[in-house]
Structure 1
Amino acid sequence: MTNSAVKTLSQLANHEEFIQRHIGPDAAETAAMLSELGVDSLEALIAQTLPADIRLKTPLATGPATTEANALAHIKKAASKNKMFKSYIGMGYHPTLTPNVILRNVLENPGWYTAYTPYQPEIAQGRLESLLNFQQITLDLTAMELASASLLDEATAAAEAMALAKRVTKSKSNQYFIADDVHPQTIDVVKTRAEMFGFDIIVGKAADAAAHDVFGALIQYPTTNGDIRNDSALIAQLQANKAIVAVATDPMALMLLKAPGQLGADVVLGSAQRFGVPMAYGGPHAAFFATRDAYKRSMPGRIIGVSKDRRGNQALRMAMQTREQHIRREKANSNICTAQVLLANMASFYAVYHGPVGLKNIAERIHRSTDIFAAGLKAKAIEIVNAHWFDTITFKVTDRAGVIKRALAAGVNLRTDVADTLAVSFNETTNSNDIAELFDIVLGTGHGLNVDALDAAIVKDGSKSIPADLVRNSSVLGHPVFNQYHSETEMLRYIKKLENKDLSLNHSMISLGSCTMKLNATAEMIPITWPEFGSLHPFVPRDQAQGYDEMISQLGDWLVNITGYDNISMQPNSGAQGEYAGMVAIRKYHESRGEGHRNICLIPVSAHGTNPATASMTSYEVVLVDCDKRGNIDMADLKAKAAEVGDRLAAIMVTYPSTHGVFEQNIRELCDIVHSYGGQVYMDGANMNAQVGLTSPGFIGSDVSHLNLHKTFCIPHGGGGPGMGPIGVKSHLAPFLPNHTVVNIAGTGASNGAVSAAPYGSAGILPISWMYIAMMGGEGLKQATEYAILNANYMANKLDPLFPVLYRGANDRVAHECIIDIRPLKEASGITEMDIAKRLMDFGYHSPTMSFPVAGTLMIEPTESESKAEMDKFIEAMSTIRAEIDKVVAGEWTVDNNPLAFAPHSMQDIFDPEWDRAYERQYAAFPASYVSENKFWPAVSRIDDVYGDRNLICSCPSPEAYR
């Protein structure tokens, strides 16, 4: 070996760098793609693509790349600083036992966590079935008529209930009532939402609600202090006054309690967290939401509906008319874009695994623990505040400080946020030893209480802690799906059966423009299931969460550096929530300066639907700005409209690179124009994947952005969530970032309300983005952006002769995504973008983003994680599809008898003995040679959307219906 071939220890270690695992193309592929584009380096391509005046002059300061092993060791050290106390805090968060079969095969399985939102239902039947089960659970427990698939958390679900109430009520009132025994974080979030809508909030005793003229009311059942009341008369009184009544509840309690629907509720909501989902310092957790069928047009979030496919088979889909409120744009009362689908699936499988008998047993065990504890306190003359209970006892002691001190010394957290009381909430992990320990803490040793004796007395005398008129007498979960998968073998096979129906990133590229379906590395995912991160209650004393604080603080510093802002809030638990928090900050900033009259938000016509919806939610009037023929914002129109609204201009919401997939040259000028009229620039962070390390929103001149951590920063989409949408702000907006009523957040105004239930949103998934940045380092993050742009330009150049690229920027370059125009071919052939999307399934691919932001187009984003080889396979698929369209144009196939018209081809299609198609079966199923190596079969044929819209069913059909 010559000296020139000898490597240093450091050079040898480079083989273990994560960067080369994350970025798809190798050196040879990179050279080939650069050659295709006619440039000799990545730097030359970037110089042609980004405006020179927004290029960063200094590298990112996120540190050097580290290996997977070292990053895991570092974050493990941080995690070990979290103290693993037993938490009886309650307030909607409880320790759970995640069945290991669900932990390993759902939460830790890329077949479930890397899937995309089920917009293409033929290749998403598995998670659609699981979500339909979730809706059935919700319907059974609440006794309501209509349920959605999931929402972000209990508090934001309560805010959605208020918005629904205002939309459907016949009341002219502007007042909304919240009972003072609703969880404090829920009150906090609803008050923030109400302030932005201009509603007046009344917080008071539930019994007084009907004395007020209100358009709606929110009550809790059981209450935050554990009490259980029959509020049916109160609900009827409120409804007689035209108010819409929402009930926040606990799904585990509803195994034993009368359903809120039977009490007369109009809306029922809550968190599904205690159905097997870890507390994770506040999230992610799926909320459930149910209402009357009459209100389905105002339903927030997504509804899974039962339809049928081309062959008449039962098939599931997202119901179009209620899929997302934000399709209403500025007329929306909600901006929901993502939901906690992965966590809803976990909760759904938890119910399937335990079944009605198992769930009732768990609920009774929790309730028995509470009864025993209450009996012991009563025996020692301790005052109990709540007259009835399911799992929570609130009580008063003379030596409150001493009890708290003993609890902390024993590694136990009680609820201590109410000044003169303490509370204990029991959970499925509680055993008799825990109850004995609690007696020692509350009463001191030598109290003489015996848990078994107290238990025996309750068995003998019966329990009266749930009022007789509120004991559930209706059965739940009678559908066969909840009654046949109780052995681990059967459960494992059921999970796998559903997984096999879903296409996810572990099968092939998902080239969704605007959604950045990149690698979610295994090393990034590992920490989220560590108990040190998973088992913390969000309201533990701060000294017990030092590991979280360290990780969140460092991640925040990195994101501040990456974005060019001065401060960041980790509270928003989705991109849409981040938009909302950012616009709230802008509005509060203007009000603080005596400029509350600013009420106009400029939004380009190309913007995401969430942008106008979010502006509407902060009571801003939306004024649309035109785009020119090249897809860029029309600067003349922007100037004219900014001048026209003048000092009423509050903000502009702009996406960069644009939603049309180009780096617009005038972005700095746009910021200057808006600032010159006193407005603020909100830069949508959806396309940060094309900015990191090359430019930044703060450097460009914007004031605030949200970051989709589930896009640019590698948190997986989870089949439609979880997401995280932290917001970065310039210093003048930092005082208006969200705070939290239970946990004060440093660096923001003390009076600011919350936008999410937990102070740091879905904190449990932040380790994913921490790991990504740590393993990539500043140089790796920059390379990721460069390769995202390289891959997109390569894809655009190869596809353009087949399907013209609609918009290009300077030097004919695109950013990290491109839009191909199907409309000319559609006019010539009758083949639609939908036909192409469905035909791609036969090649084993998920469709690119369809008809957004331009109808009749496909938006493609290959991301930096896909290799040239994978992109070439996709290009081959599109080339084959183009040849098929050409045959239709030439008259070789008719518009209604060709592979695109019948796509996708299910196995049932291919084996149909009465094949009468104009093309061969073999070609239908295996249109390219590589397909046979890794064939993915769509579970059903093309689904009839119109039938599903006209026959909305959101509950599980009987097994006979499938036959």
Structure 2
Amino acid sequence: MIDARSHSFADRHVGPDEGELARILDVVGVASLDELATKAVPASILDPAVGGVAAGLDALGEPLSEHEALAALTQLAGRNTTAVSMIGLGYYDTLTPPVLVRNILENPAWYTAYTPYQPEISQGRLEALLNFQTMIADLTGMEIANSSMLDEGTAAAEAMTLLRRASRSKSPRFVIDTDLFPQTRAIVVTRAEPLGIEIVEADLTQGLPDGDFFGVLAQVPGASGRVVDHAATIAAAHDRGALVAVGADLLALTLLTPPGELGADACFGTTQRFGVPMGFGGPHAGYLAVHTKHARQLPGRLVGLSVDADGDKAYRLALQTREQHIRREKATSNICTAQVLLAVVAAMYASYHGAEGLTAIAQRVHGHAERLAAGLRAAGVDVVHENFFDTVLAKVPGRAADVVERAKAWNVNLRLVDADHVGIACDEATTDAHVDSVLAAFGSTATVECTPAPFGNRTSAFLQHESFTKYRTETAMLRYLRALSDKDIALDRSMIPLGSCTMKLNATAEMEPITWPGFSKLHPFAPVADAPGMLQVISDLQDWLVAITGYDAVSLQPNAGSQGEYAGLLAIRNYHLSRGDDHRTVCLIPSSAHGTNAASAVMAGMRVVVVACRENGDVDVDDLRAKVAEHAAELSAIMITYPSTHGVYEHEVGEICAAVHDAGGQVYVDGANLNALVGLARPGRFGGDVSHLNLHKTFCIPHGGGGPGVGPIGVRSHLVPFLPGHPMAPELGGSGPVSAAPYGSASILPITWTYIAMMGARGLRHASLTAIASANYIARRLDEYFPVLYTGENGMVAHECILDLRPLTKETGVTVDDVAKRLADYGFHAPTMSFPVSGTLMVEPTESENLDEIDRFIDAMIAIRGEIDRVGAGEWPVDDNPLRGAPHTARCLVAEWNHPYSREIAVYPAGLDRPKVWPSVRRIDGAHGDRNLVCSCPPIEAFTS
């Protein structure tokens, strides 16, 4: 046990102190955490521990203090060269307004929030995301946009599959422009191959290729910087029965006619240059927008407008908020995590600048590019394209490398296109001095005066809603952000006991480095010599995660858990193909699995076969053996979650892995629940061939309201050649990329680096066991009120437990939704509802909550059970009681009160012993929102009563 008086970081991270932990263990019925480990975790997989350090984890070294860790990271950041970046290709320097840095990126009210599945206590984030959707729709000329994608390359791939679903063409061919960003092209090719889509590359300025095709992908401006009017291409594609998606730079669209007005069917891209630092590649919010007729084809999340119980306007996630859980292998996408925090930054950047400010920035960017082009022409350099926005392509036969090297001497990074061409991209941070340095690198010594004419042909208005006209001063923006965050419950206000989501402490020391220029200002395609500190962070993390998981190598490229699943399954697919086993396409998935598992398998070209589960929630090993025997010749893999999605350590995991291996298949262990394994058991040693890990769960990257995430994969040695590669990072080798940047969302990796460095091997094991102890404590204390549905062999759960409300619902009519909404009146976010079993709540306390907070939650649940009993006894009717009426707002108290329960019971229920958190809206009518789909900022008149 860690000495509670030592004040190490582990003591600050783990909630229960020595005395509280003793009380927890007493209720659980064990004398120590070590005894708990032997009772909860199967002996067949439990790693031996000496002095609190598990086997294999001594490589982590002694833990650092917060100040030591920050000093080490300061040194690493200092080793990086923050050059003037003029590389472009979708990544640009940007000037983030300090009010957004301090009050969003560095504000736990925003970065510790969860996905807004409980909309009544998430109205602030939902409003910000509706602003994001409005911004995208306005700028692209489309009618509807989702509330962010993982990055631009992923958005392009999703656009391709959306066009395939929406097109009437039966052709498997898909045309992509030769002027796409290279990383976008590579991701589209990676996605297309398992789906049987044939990629056809064509220079769209020369017309469309012969033959049939279902869709076309273009980009404005292109990778070369060229701006092309694709109106004729779009019309020609439509004439031939194909649909068109255009990748569009949002800053350029303040000046150019938007693709939606030209007839494009979809638009995709990134919002990075709207105030989100480059960060060596991410995280950045991508976007995808369509016309209304394709709204139900949109992947990811869609914020819509509805009404609450009082008829007031309210925001919610519209349509199928978790499509993967509903449709599983029939899901149209495996996207689960978005990039909410970064989407909020981008939306607020647009709000702060407004249409006029964004247009002025765009004209200034173009002006620098025009001055650069004029200077190059004056020096006798051939400027390849006459029509460009921010990127100039210069032709210098045989001298390109020399020019790039000379610019580097001026601390400017240019893009070496080939031996004869150099690309130079201007951005918001470009200055006249930067342009002069570039011209000097080309050998120009003349002073060039250039007054660019106004650029662009856009005539339509955009960003006219008051969200983009009202908050131009810092005072106004500051108060707007505070007003929005006050409408939400995040970890800075309350425990968020979400099962399978691990909402733990995101320590300030972990968060501090992400805004340091040494990490945030790096371009992902900068010379390797510019980023030794960042690459050391990446290397350290890879080594530490290898030690923790027992695998042989780790890729940090996947920028979400769903992308990790996809990357892991692609590695399995490509491994089989390399051996000539192209017939191995069956993926076994237990019926209890996370919905993204099945969706990811289909994306990787596999056929899903479901394996049954027993009544106790475990995989039915008899059914597994039967399915393995039936599909032995075509078996590719099995996907299992461990501990199981039911929150239990299955004792037969070794048999499951062996059965699949014996048939020639691979074992994918979903690492969503790794918070119950770190320091205790290693999936790479108990049978896994590949796992994805959620750094945004187990390893302290915050959820950010639904993103960012990082979903790296660990693999055994035979799968190493099939890890994700990248066209701009040949040192990675491997297969095709799954994310736009070589190392995914690199700028948030220092969070996990700091967490592991400060916890050390002993602290990590202590954290896992404390999480397990707290979950079992909740299970023991609540079992008599809400039966715990599943336990392991010794009556233990893992790090979460499932409370069964189905008998109560049958007896009283009170539903799991009623309990979830009532918890908001007690100041708590609800646990996970109806997953993995409908009519249940899945609770996970994490190791970071102290006993007082855990007891408050338990007391609230017991008090709610008392309220349910009063409904069951007939004291309150089923359709009018504190649970069905929840949540209650302050405003509803001053309205006419005709309920059989008092106002006091409504808003100050028994057991509420904390400052009141007031929900800002009553219960929201989801069906109304889906019937009347409004997914951009409505006219102001809509909010008047």
Q: Does 1:21 align with 2:12?
A: yes
1:209 Cα deviation after fit: 2.5
Instruction: Write the mapping of 1:619-698 to structure 2, written as runs, cut at 5 A.
Output: 619-698=605-684
1:355 Cα deviation after fit: 0.7
Q: Does 1:148 align with 2:129?
A: no
RMSD: 1.3
Cα distance in 1 for residues equivalent to 2:323 and 2:597? 13
* Corresponding residue number in structure 2 for 1:243: 242
Cα distance in 2 for residues equivalent to 1:714 and 1:811? 30
| Residues 353 and 485, structure 1, Cα contact 8 Å, conserved in 2 | yes
SS in 1 for 2:883: helix
SS in 1 for 2:423: strand
* Corresponding residue number in structure 2 for 1:395: 394
Match of 2:817 among 834, 856, 862: 834
**% same residue:** 54
1:196 Cα deviation after fit: 1.5
* Corresponding residue number in structure 2 for 1:259: 258
Residue by residue over 1:808-866, the C-alpha shift from the partner in whole angstroms, topping out at 9 and shown as x without a partner, is 10110000000000100000000000000000000110100000000000000000001
Cα distance in 2 for residues equivalent to 1:784 and 1:321? 35
Match of 2:29 among 23, 31, 38: 38
One-letter amino acid of the counterpart of residue 956, structure 1: C
Residue by residue over 1:466-501, the C-alpha shift from the partner in whole angstroms, topping out at 9 and shown as x without a partner, is 5xxx61011110111111110100010001010100
* Corresponding residue number in structure 2 for 1:166: 164
Match of 1:816 among 799, 804, 815: 799
* Corresponding residue number in structure 2 for 1:917: 899
Match of 1:48 among 39, 43, 50: 39
Q: Does 1:863 align with 2:842?
A: no
Residue by residue over 1:284-328, the C-alpha shift from the partner in whole angstroms, topping out at 9 and shown as x without a partner, is 000111012111221111110000000000000000336545632
Residue by residue over 1:757-787, the C-alpha shift from the partner in whole angstroms, topping out at 9 and shown as x without a partner, is 0000000000000000000000100001000
Residue by residue over 1:14-64, the C-alpha shift from the partner in whole angstroms, topping out at 9 and shown as x without a partner, is 734100000000111111111112211111111110100101132513112
Residue by residue over 1:676-705, the C-alpha shift from the partner in whole angstroms, topping out at 9 and shown as x without a partner, is 000000000100000000001111111000
One-letter amino acid of the counterpart of residue 267, structure 1: A
| Residues 249 and 269, structure 2, Cα contact 8 Å, conserved in 1 | yes
1:204 Cα deviation after fit: 2.0
1:449 Cα deviation after fit: 1.7
Cα distance in 2 for residues equivalent to 1:400 and 1:641? 59
15-24 vs 318-327, which moves further: 318-327
* Corresponding residue number in structure 2 for 1:513: 499
| Residues 16 and 67, structure 1, Cα contact 8 Å, conserved in 2 | no
* Corresponding residue number in structure 1 for 2:837: 854
Instruction: Write the mapping of 1:410-429 to structure 2, written as runs, cut at 5 A.
Output: 410-429=410-429
* Corresponding residue number in structure 2 for 1:5: none
One-letter amino acid of the counterpart of residue 15, structure 1: S
| Residues 159 and 266, structure 2, Cα contact 8 Å, conserved in 1 | yes
SS in 2 for 1:698: coil
Instruction: Write the mapping of 1:167-186 to structure 2, written as runs, cut at 5 A.
Output: 167-186=165-184
SS in 2 for 1:375: helix
157-166 vs 34-43, which moves further: 34-43
823-832 vs 231-240, which moves further: 231-240
| Residues 324 and 331, structure 2, Cα contact 8 Å, conserved in 1 | yes
Instruction: Write the mapping of 1:302-451 to structure 2, written as runs, cut at 5 A.
Output: 302-321=301-320, 324=323, 327-398=326-397, 399-444=399-444, 447-450=445-448
Change (3 A) 1:948 1:311: same
One-letter amino acid of the counterpart of residue 415, structure 1: R
| Residues 179 and 209, structure 1, Cα contact 8 Å, conserved in 2 | no
One-letter amino acid of the counterpart of residue 510, structure 2: E
| Residues 326 and 337, structure 1, Cα contact 8 Å, conserved in 2 | no
May I ask how many residue pairs the two structures share in their alignment?
934
Change (3 A) 1:561 1:258: same
Residue by residue over 1:569-603, the C-alpha shift from the partner in whole angstroms, topping out at 9 and shown as x without a partner, is 11100000000000000000000011010010000
Cα distance in 1 for residues equivalent to 2:7 and 2:35? 28
One-letter amino acid of the counterpart of residue 692, structure 1: V
Change (3 A) 1:323 1:52: closer
One-letter amino acid of the counterpart of residue 540, structure 1: A
1:205 Cα deviation after fit: 0.9
One-letter amino acid of the counterpart of residue 609, structure 2: V
| Residues 62 and 760, structure 2, Cα contact 8 Å, conserved in 1 | yes
* Corresponding residue number in structure 2 for 1:950: 931
1:230 Cα deviation after fit: 1.0
* Corresponding residue number in structure 1 for 2:199: 201
285-294 vs 320-329, which moves further: 320-329
Cα distance in 2 for residues equivalent to 1:285 and 1:905? 36
Cα distance in 2 for residues equivalent to 1:643 and 1:386? 61
Cα distance in 2 for residues equivalent to 1:38 and 1:83? 55
User: What residue ranges of structure 1 are gaps of 5+ in the alignment?
Assistant: 1-10
* Corresponding residue number in structure 2 for 1:717: 703
| Residues 9 and 758, structure 2, Cα contact 8 Å, conserved in 1 | yes
Q: Does 1:495 align with 2:481?
A: yes
One-letter amino acid of the counterpart of residue 586, structure 1: I
Cα distance in 1 for residues equivalent to 2:731 and 2:8? 36
* Corresponding residue number in structure 1 for 2:51: none
SS in 2 for 1:613: helix
Residue by residue over 1:633-682, the C-alpha shift from the partner in whole angstroms, topping out at 9 and shown as x without a partner, is 00000000000011100000000000000000100010000000000000
| Residues 305 and 953, structure 1, Cα contact 8 Å, conserved in 2 | yes
Match of 2:57 among 55, 60, 64: 60
**Normalised TM-score (structure 1):** 0.96
Change (3 A) 1:13 1:941: closer
Instruction: Write the mapping of 1:202-241 to structure 2, written as runs, cut at 5 A.
Output: 202-206=200-204, 207-241=206-240
SS in 2 for 1:211: coil
Instruction: Write the mapping of 1:924-939 to structure 2, written as runs, cut at 5 A.
Output: 924-931=906-913, 933-939=914-920
| Residues 113 and 719, structure 1, Cα contact 8 Å, conserved in 2 | yes
Q: Does 1:527 align with 2:524?
A: no
1:13 Cα deviation after fit: 12
Cα distance in 2 for residues equivalent to 1:347 and 1:323? 24
User: What residue ranges of structure 2 are gaps of 5+ in the alignment?
Assistant: 49-54
| Residues 111 and 499, structure 1, Cα contact 8 Å, conserved in 2 | yes
Residue by residue over 1:504-547, the C-alpha shift from the partner in whole angstroms, topping out at 9 and shown as x without a partner, is 00001000000000000000000101000000000001010101
Residue by residue over 1:857-895, the C-alpha shift from the partner in whole angstroms, topping out at 9 and shown as x without a partner, is 000000000111101000010001000000011111110
One-letter amino acid of the counterpart of residue 724, structure 1: V
Change (3 A) 1:14 1:897: closer
| Residues 400 and 419, structure 2, Cα contact 8 Å, conserved in 1 | no
Cα distance in 2 for residues equivalent to 1:419 and 1:926? 72
SS in 1 for 2:201: strand
* Corresponding residue number in structure 2 for 1:8: none
One-letter amino acid of the counterpart of residue 112, structure 2: T
| Residues 888 and 894, structure 1, Cα contact 8 Å, conserved in 2 | yes
| Residues 94 and 428, structure 2, Cα contact 8 Å, conserved in 1 | yes
| Residues 202 and 209, structure 2, Cα contact 8 Å, conserved in 1 | no
| Residues 566 and 600, structure 2, Cα contact 8 Å, conserved in 1 | yes
Change (3 A) 1:481 1:402: same
236-245 vs 786-795, which moves further: 236-245
374-383 vs 84-93, which moves further: 374-383
Residue by residue over 1:52-91, the C-alpha shift from the partner in whole angstroms, topping out at 9 and shown as x without a partner, is 0101132513112110000111111111111111000000
SS in 2 for 1:164: helix
Cα distance in 2 for residues equivalent to 1:378 and 1:323? 54
